[in-house]
Each structure stands twice: as C-alpha cells, then as structure tokens.
Chain A
Amino acid sequence: MKNVVRRRYVKNLATNINRLVCLVQIRDAHNQRSNELNIHNIPPPSKKFDLIGPADKKSNLRPVVFHVPHNETSLQCRYRQMRKETHEWNQAFWADHNEKFFKEKEDFVKRKLKEKQLSVEGPEARLSADELSEFYKEFLDKNFVLHANYNREWYKKNLRLLYPAFQVFLEKIYNKVFKR
C-alpha cells in the first residue's frame, strides 16, 4: 500500500476539508487495547478568532482556545478571563462527575453480577435495562444536592457572562465606526 498513498493526496485532502485539521495521529492498528478512535489534536494558531475543539473525552465539553488580540482592551480582557474561568470550572466539574458516574456504574454492575453469580467477563456480563435503571436512580438521588448547587452556579455564571459580552460587542462597533 506504500505506493498507493501519495503525499499529493495528503495535500489535496488537507486543502479540501479544512485547513484547521492538523496532525491527526491515528492509533496504531496493533494496539488492541481500545477500539475507539483516538485523535490527538493540536489546535492550529488562529489569527483572529477563538477556537473550539472536539469534545473532551472525560467531560464531553468542547475546549475553547481564546485568541488574545494585540490591541486587546480592558473590557475584552475581563470578558475573556470570565469566559476562561467559567470554562475551566465547567470542565473540572463534569470531568470529575463523569468519572464518578462510570466508576460507580462499573462497581454496581460487578456487584449485581456477583449477586446473580455470573462471571464478570463474557458475553452474558450485561445487566438488563431495568436493572441498570436502579443504578441510574441511585446515582441521581445521591447527587441531588451536588446537581442543584451546580445548576445554581451555572445559571449565575452563564447569565453574568451576557452583559460583558454585550459591552465587548458595543465597544467593537464603536471602535469600528468612530475610530476608523
């Protein structure tokens, strides 16, 4: 296959799909450990805009790389800091939360299978949806306060970001119109 793939085609594709696709390392085919696609993405440098990336494996949130312009004003700087802080807080919460979820689910499945005296490995090692729903209910009830607090915080942070965003927007227009 060596002579099948030529660098010409690599270049063609690169220009065709998206110039932002950088080094994509595809996991070695011999690595049988995980059968999921593992793309390591390095965000390309952007001259004007923020970048939003593929969903983080742990938190399912999309990371954002903020672009810092040369002539950044204080309003823009403050807005960017707020956004960054919100993103990081969100990322930390969900990564931790999801990890907890999957770990507790695994423990539950193991426990249930032991009770049913089935082997943990093997094709029968699956609980029915009804049995799993017990775990889902348990998880929700256990984390009720945590979720409620997170919701309150998230609503506050989300709404607080609106006014600075509006200020930045107005400032941009003002600069465009009056400072030309």
Chain B
Amino acid sequence: MYRQCSHFSAWQIRKHFKSKILSSNNGLIAEIRSASVKTGLKTDEDYGTGSMFNDQETKIRYASNGQEKFPQKYKQVPLTLFVKKSKTLIMLDEISEKFTVTFPKSEDTLTIDIGPEDYAKLRSMMEKDKREQSPAHNPESITECIWQEMKTDNKKLMQYYLKLSKIRLTGLVVLTAMAGYAMAPAAFDPIGFTMVTLGTGLTSASANAINQFFEVPFDSQMNRTKNRVLVRGYLSPLHAVTFAAVSGSVGLVVLALGANPLTAAIGAFNLGLYTLVYTPMKRLTIANTWVGSVVGAVPPLMGWAACTGSLEPGAWIMAAIMFCWQFPHFNALSWNLRPDYSRAGYRMMSVVDPSLCKRVALRHTVGITGLCFLAPMVGLTTPLFPVMSLPLNLYFTYLGWKFYQQGDSSSSRKLFRFSLLHIPLLIVLMIVNKPLKKNNSKNSEDNHVTHSIDDQR
C-alpha cells in the first residue's frame, strides 16, 4: 500500500513516539528515503550558493521500551520524507551522529539515530557532489513533483512580478544608479533622485523579465534557475511580456520626464543592449561577458546624467570601476556552474576557456585598484579615497590571485562572496570621499568682478 506523501507518515512516527530519541539497539526498522534535504544555507536563486542533497536511503531504528501501543517486531515499510524547501527540517548533528527532523508547525523534533555505519554512509551520500545531476533529478520541494493548474494566482502576483524582475539584481542596479547620482557634482534634488531610482528600477525589471521570457527552456536545464516563474508556469509568457512592456515604457517615461532625456536615452540603450544583444549572445560567443559588463557599468552613468545633465569624466571613471568589477564577480560565479552551462549550451569563459576566465578576473581586480587611484585626478573623489580603499582593493586582488592560482570551487566562491561585499563598501567610501564644493572659487569670481569694475572706472 503506497502512500501519497510520507511527510505525514513521519507525523505518524511523531504522534506515537513524541520526540523520543531513537537508538540503534532494537525495535523497528523502517527505511527512509528522503527526497531532498535542505541545510540552513538559503538557496539564493540568483547566485546558486545553496547546496542541495539528494536521495538517500537510511534506516530508522527506534527504541521500544515496551510502553508503546504497537508490537515490537514490524516488517519493513518504505517511507519517504519530503522536505519542504522553506524550512530547515533535517539537520545532521555531527557530534552525536544523529539527525533530527523538525516539524515547524508543531515545533516537534524527532531525533533519529541510525547507527554509525549508516550515518557515515548518509554523510558520504550527502557530500557527494550532486550538482551535476539535471534539475529533474533534483527536486527541492514537493511542489516541483506534482501537476499544477496553470492559472494565475492573483494573490501572489506581486511576488511573481518581483521574481520576474530578479528583484535582488534590480536592487543592486538601482543602488549603483543612486551612487552615480550621489557622486555627481551637482545639487541633490530629492525629486530627481526618486525619479531616477524609480525609472532605473522599472527599466531593469523590464529587461530582466524579457530575459526570462527568452530563456525558458535554458533555465529549465540548470539547477540554479529551474524554479523561475515562467519555467514553472506561474505566469503565462504573454503576461510576462506585457509586464515587461509596461514597466519598461513607464520606467523610460519616468526617466525622461523626472530626470532628463539623456538619462532616458542611456536607459533605453541599456535595455536594448541587455535584451537584444547580451541575451542571444550568451549562446554564441564568450564575448557576451564583456557586453554584460557594459550593461552593468551603465547605471552609474544614468544616475550621474540625471543629476548633472551631462557625463563628466568622473562618471566614466565610476562606470569603468563597475565594468571591471563585473569580471571577478561573474567569472567566480560561473566557475561552479560549468556543468550546467555546458549542458544548457551557454558559452561562458569558465567553460570554453578556463584559463582566460581566471586571467581576466585577476586582471580586472588589479584594474579596479588602478582606477581608484585615477579617481582623484578627474575630481571624482578626494585624494584620500585611493588610500582608504586600498585595503579593500588589495584584499579583492588577493582573492583574485588565489582564484587564479587554485581555480577551484572554494576560491571562486570566496571571490564571488567578497565581490558582493566589495562594491557596496567601495561605493560608500566613494561617497564619503566626495569632494566638497569649494567656496574659494565663488569669492575669486567676486574679486574678478570688482577688479574689472575698478579697471573700468
């Protein structure tokens, strides 16, 4: 007799045993096959840093000290534990070699001791690198394994839109645009600032939605992206495209009216570059990384243009720093996704030319350090900025060097994680070191005027 989902079978155990510690001495043997186990690492949809475990077979033995209601000897029964993605339900306790199953709603805990040999087997199964398995073999939650009706759930619409717009990525883009606005040497206008933030956010959301629309079958092939909105059918493609069209046009209009036409033009250029050039190029040549880096470098230009109305050299230095940053960031990320990229047909440096990948990442970390020294020369920051940012940049370069030398998953992950920390800190340092408007120039102007008036007398 098969059960629909032994999530509730586990409940049966709970109901009868009430968090007893099950020891390996005697009693029932039940085989548990757990479909997927999630650790405390949050699966970051965009960055794929979560680790996933796969199917294991384990045996549960539990102590029966004669007080339970059912007899001591049982026949083997297959049990499957489905673990929901949202909570950490199964944890391996390394010290006592047991594992616990936690039921969040009732806050009950079931501790299972499967004996040292089985525990070692379980651990080795979990540590085996299962990332090479295709998404269909890696279910993370039961919702991935069942048939669902394709109707739009209107209560979750906002959530779907945020996912469609890759909200975390959009947030970072908006942050860099705000930084561009903040560093521009013109007066701070709160309305202009809000408009450029809003406009950039909407435009970026639109670009990401179109990107997801184009890449549905490729996203299904990769573990990192298999749960995207369109892949799962939560929204229809027409819905996604309409969302993209509306948010894109509104965003560009907001930029044009709230900031200035130059900003809107740059925004439109970036939108086109991302959706029409970068997205198809990802599958044709490794040069896509350079195009993608340009896409990432443009938001500070938008912020700057919204503030001053033109693009001074300082804006280009900021954009160049952002451009250089993209390489260690993306190359480190893509290093661990080589099998997925290869199977899905993406042409990335990490797959096609791994040594180039490492070289480029290192090259550009050095480039960032150099560009920070260039910043005071164009008046972007005070001369203190390169000094203050030197430790940060040197550590980033050091991680880049480590990645270049070792080229393994741990060094790439370290580099990637630090890159996420590096750019906000660098931006903060830039803003802190923004040169103040000098009053001397104003006085000297007055002096000139009085002199000329005196001369004319």
Beyond the given A4-B13, A57-B137, A101-B342, please list 8 additional residue pairs across the A-B interface where CB-CB is below 8 A: A22-B147, A23-B2, A37-B55, A41-B147, A49-B150, A60-B135, A132-B339, A162-B241
Q: Are B9 and A62 in contact (CB under 8 A)?
A: no
Q: What is the chain A residue whose CB lies nearest that of B137? A: A36
Interface size class of A (residues with CB under 8 A): 35 or more
Verify A43–B147 contact, CB threshold 8 A.
yes
Name the interface residues of A23-54: CB closer than 8 Å to any CB of B.
23-29, 35-37, 39, 41, 43-44, 46, 48-54
- CB pair A1–B280 under 8 Å, yes or no, is no
Q: Is there an interface contact between B151 and A49, defined as CB atoms closer than 8 Å?
A: yes
Beta-carbon contact of A13 and B145 below 8 Å: no
Decide: A37 near B35, CB < 8 A? Known: A1-B28, A61-B217: yes
A62 to B57, CA, bound (A): 27
Given A57-B136, A129-B408, A165-B238 contact (CB < 8 Å): yes
- Bound state CA distance, A162 and B241, in angstroms? 9
Given contacts A56-B136, A129-B338, contact A20 B146 (CB under 8 A): yes
Binding site for B on A (CB under 8 A): 1-5, 9-10, 12-14, 17-18, 20-29, 35-37, 39, 41, 43-44, 46, 48-62, 64-65, 90, 94, 98, 101, 129-130, 132-133, 136-137, 139-141, 143, 147-148, 150-151, 154-155, 158, 161-162, 165-166, 169
Q: How far is the CA of A143 from the CA of B248 in the complex (A)?
A: 35
By a CB distance below 8 angstroms, the chain A residues around B408 are 129
B38 to chain A, nearest CB (A): 15
A4 touching B233, Cβ below 8 Å: no
**Would A13 and B150 count as touching, CB distance under 8 A?**
no
A2: chain B residues at CB < 8 Å are: 74, 77
State whether A51 and B147 are in contact (beta carbons under 8 Å apart), knowing that A26-B3, A60-B221, A148-B284 are contacts in the complex: yes
B145: contacting residue among A54, A56, A59, CB under 8 A: A54
> Is B144 engaged at the interface, CB distance under 8 Å to the other chain?
yes
Minimum C-beta distance from B12 to chain A (A) = 5
Tell whether, in the assembled complex, residue A24 and residue B347 are in contact, meaning their CB atoms are under 8 Å apart: no
Which of B5, B70, B125, B352 has a CB less than 8 Å from the CB of A24?
B5
Partner of B343, one of A22, A61, A101, A150: A101
Which of A1, A3, A57, A101 neighbours the largest number of chain B CB atoms within 10 Å of its CB?
A: A1
A–B pairs, 17, beta carbons within 8 Å: A2-B77, A3-B70, A4-B9, A28-B78, A41-B147, A52-B150, A55-B226, A56-B136, A65-B147, A101-B342, A133-B354, A137-B352, A139-B342, A147-B283, A151-B284, A161-B237, A162-B241
Contact of B144 among A3, A48, A55 (CB under 8 A): A55
Is there an interface contact between B55 and A130, defined as CB atoms closer than 8 Å?
no
Binding site for A on B (CB under 8 A): 1-9, 11-13, 16, 28, 30-31, 33, 35, 54-57, 70, 74-78, 80, 125, 134-137, 139, 142, 144-151, 213-214, 216-217, 220-221, 226, 231-233, 236-238, 241, 280, 283-284, 338-339, 341-343, 345, 347, 350-354, 407-409
**B12 contacts A24, CB within 8 Å?**
no
**In the complex, what distance in Å separates the CA atom of A8 from the CA atom of B400?**
59
Contacts of A139 in B (CB 8 A): 342
A74 to B145, CA, bound (A): 33
Whether A51 pairs with B148 at a CB distance below 8 angstroms is yes
Q: How far is it, in angstroms, between the C-alpha of A148 and the C-alpha of B347 when the chains are bound?
A: 11
Task: Return the chain A residue nearest B339 by Cβ.
Answer: A136
> What residues of A have a CB within 8 angstroms of the CB of B283 in the complex?
147-148, 151
Q: Whole-angstrom distance from the CB of A16 to the nearest CB of chain B?
A: 8
Chain B residue numbers with a CB within 8 Å of A5 are 1, 3, 9, 12
Are the CB atoms of A21 and B146 closer together than 8 Å? Answer: yes
**Bound form: Cα–Cα A72–B80 in Å:** 42
Q: How far is the CA of A154 from the CA of B149 in the complex (A)?
A: 25
Whether A52 lies near B5 (C-beta < 8 A) is no
**Nearest-Cβ distance from residue A149 to partner chain B, whole angstroms:** 11
Contacts of B409 in A (CB 8 A): 129
Contact, CB under 8 Å: A140 / B351 = yes
The CA-CA distance from A1 to B69 in the complex, in Å, is: 11
Q: B223 → chain A, closest Cβ, in Å?
A: 10
**Partner pick for A53 among B76, B147, B216, CB 8 A cutoff:** B147
Q: Is the CB of A158 within 8 A of B347?
A: no
When the two chains form their complex, are residues A62 and B232 in contact, meaning their CB atoms are under 8 A apart? yes
Contact A62 to B231, CB < 8 A, known contacts A14-B4, A133-B354: yes
CB-CB < 8 A to B150: which residues of A? 49-52, 64
B149 touches which one: A10, A13, A26, A50 (CB < 8 A)?
A: A50
The 10 closest A-B pairs by CB, nearest first: A136-B342, A29-B78, A52-B233, A55-B136, A165-B238, A49-B149, A50-B150, A147-B345, A1-B77, A13-B8
CB contact under 8 A between A54 and B147, given known A137-B351, A155-B214, A162-B237: yes
B211 CB → nearest A CB, Å = 13
Q: Check if A162 sits within 8 Å of B238, measured CB to CB.
A: yes
B284, chain A: closest CB distance, angstroms: 6
